[in-house]
Amino acid sequence: MLVKSIKEMQGIVKKWKKEGHSVGFVPTMGALHEGHQSLIERAARENDRVVVSIFVNPTQFGPTEDFDAYPRDLEKDCSLCQGVGVHVVFSPDAKELYFPDQSTMVHVSGLTDVLCGSKRPGHFDGVCLVVSKFFNIIQPDKAYFGQKDAQQVTVIKRMVRDLNLDVEIVVCPIVRESDGLARSSRNVYLSPEERQAALVLSRSLEVAKNALNNGERNASVLKAALLSCIVQEPLAEIDYVEIVDSESLQVLKGKIANSILIPVAVFIGKTRLIDNIAYKI
């Protein structure tokens, strides 16, 4: 069932709650792929009712980013949702969701100053604003996010903690194509040659993982190994490569001792792709 009105969505949720149903929520920007599908399937397993939002959120795109070009196919997305246990696809128009004189910001400081936050100013403010609006409208018991957007997960968890929001954040593993490329709605932008070049992201992370498995514990050495792998790909332009603490997202330079995250962001042609691995020492 496709719902576009906030009032109608709130009415449905009220009824579900009255009937004692638990609600799982999967926020998306559409162009659904197997990564989203894994989130939806988990939500369907763990909740009585499942809502998937499909909304290309203008407030999280910078002025030079791909908001207009972002792939949109609501009909196809709705039919994918039908087969996997989704009760409502919530897809409001931007005019329905945002007031013209919208004055409230949701800013998570610190965690958003690094990595994608430093490269995409305002991005996480837009994400936090739309996600908190959806949480208020849908009142989910659990909300499902992909580990591919590792910084987004960390920021959302902090927002939920700081604002005492009554929702459990469930993080699901990255879904990859058979050759290792992380599933992303932006993969459709890649030409066949770029698609091949894009494998450098997962390949570089494999290099880092092997080094860690072989006992390497120096963050600078790991970063150098990642960089030297990526620069061998002529179509790749590095946006950032870091070794960070997985909780604080602070960049590590010397010996690593705890849980780390290795996030990479690389332009392949004009397409900016991200990937990461988490590693426990």
Taking CB under 6 A as the rule, does residue 52 contact ligand PAF?
no
User: Least distance in Å: CB of 36 to ligand PAF?
Assistant: 8
Residues 56-75 that bind ligand PAF (CB under 6 A): 57, 60
Quote the least distance from Cβ 123 to ligand PAF, whole Å: 8
User: Secondary structure of the chain: what % helix, strand, coil (to 5)?
Assistant: 40, 20, 35
With contacts defined by CB under 6 A, name the span among 7-15, 26-34, 39-47, 107-115 that binds ligand PAF: 26-34
**Of 43 and 130, which CB lies nearer to ligand PAF in the complex structure?**
130
Q: Is 208 in the site for ligand PAF (CB under 6 A)?
A: no
Asked whether 237 and 267 are in contact (CB, 8 A), the reply is: yes
Is-catalytic flag, 36? yes
User: What are 220's two structure tokens?
Assistant: 């600078």
For residue 130, state whether it binds ligand PAF (rule: CB under 6 A). yes
Q: Residues 149, 233, 242, 275: which binds ligand PAF (CB under 6 A)?
A: 149
- Alpha helices per DSSP H over the chain: 6-18, 34-46, 74-82, 94-97, 115-119, 123-138, 150-162, 192-197, 199-213, 219-230
Burial 244-257 (b: 16+ CB within 10 A, else e): bbbeebeebeeebe
Please report, for residues 89, 277, 281, the alpha-carbon distance to residue 177 in angstroms, rounded to integers and kept in the order given: 26, 16, 27
Q: Does 27 bind ligand PAF (CB under 6 A)?
A: yes
Contact call for residue 43 and ligand PAF (CB under 6 A): no
Q: How far is the CB of 127 from ligand PAF (least distance, A)?
A: 5
Residue ranges in 89-128 that form contacts with ligand PAF under rule CB under 6 A: 127
Residue 131 or 261: the one with the smaller Cβ distance to ligand PAF is 131
User: In the complex with ligand PAF, which residue's Cβ is closer, 127 or 174?
Assistant: 127
What is the C-alpha separation between 13 and 191, in angstroms, rounded? 42
What tokens were used for 5?
């009105």
| Beta bridge partners of residue 144, listed in sequence order | 170
Provide, rounded to whole angstroms, the least separation between the CB of residue 187 and ligand PAF: 14
Strands 259-268 and 244-245: antiparallel
47 or 185: CB nearest ligand PAF: 185
Give dist(CA 250, CA 53) in Å, integer: 31
107 Cβ neighbours under 8 A, 6+ residues apart: 124, 125, 128
List the catalytic residues: 36
Give contact residues for ligand PAF (rule: CB under 6 A).
27-29, 57, 60, 127, 130-131, 149, 152
